[in-house]
Amino acid sequence: DRRDRRLEVSFRPVDDGPGVAEPPGGPATLREPGGPADDRVIRVVISMGTYSPVEVEWASRPGGDHLVDGRRLQQWASGTSLDALGLLG
């Protein structure tokens, strides 16, 4: 964008219930908690499912990742700007 930031996107698989195998490679890897924040990187984790309260709390830390659930992903795909979705801080 105009502030020389880049968008880093990772995907988290949806848990389809007991006995369902995870895709090859397992779940998306997020950066380590407490790792250095880079204000030029907007980190987005996408899941077609929902996020647990623990995941939401983890992402709400300063410099945290932005969580995009299925509903917000549909809004983004329909043309809602990242700013309107609250992803540009």
Asked whether residue 23 is domain-assigned, the answer is no
Examine residue 20 and state whether it is found in any structural domain, yes or no.
no
Tokens of 60: 């709400």
pTM: 0.66
Residue 68 lies in a domain: yes
pLDDT by 10-residue block (mean), the chain, 89 residues: 82 63 42 56 89 88 86 94 83
Q: Residue 76, class by beta-carbon neighbours within 10 Å (0-12 exposed, 13-18 middle, 19+ buried)?
A: middle
Q: How many domains does the chain have?
A: 1
Q: Is residue 9 part of a domain?
A: yes
CA–CA distances in Å: residue 73 to residues 7, 32, 48:
15, 24, 8
CA atoms within 13 A of residue 18's CA, in its CB half-sphere: 0
- Is residue 6, in this structure, part of any structural domain at all? yes
Q: What is the tens place of the pLDDT at every residue in 47-72?
A: 988 888 998 888 888 877 899 999 99
Host domain of residue 41: 1-15+37-81
Q: Residue 67: enclosing H or E segment and its boundaries?
A: strand 66-68
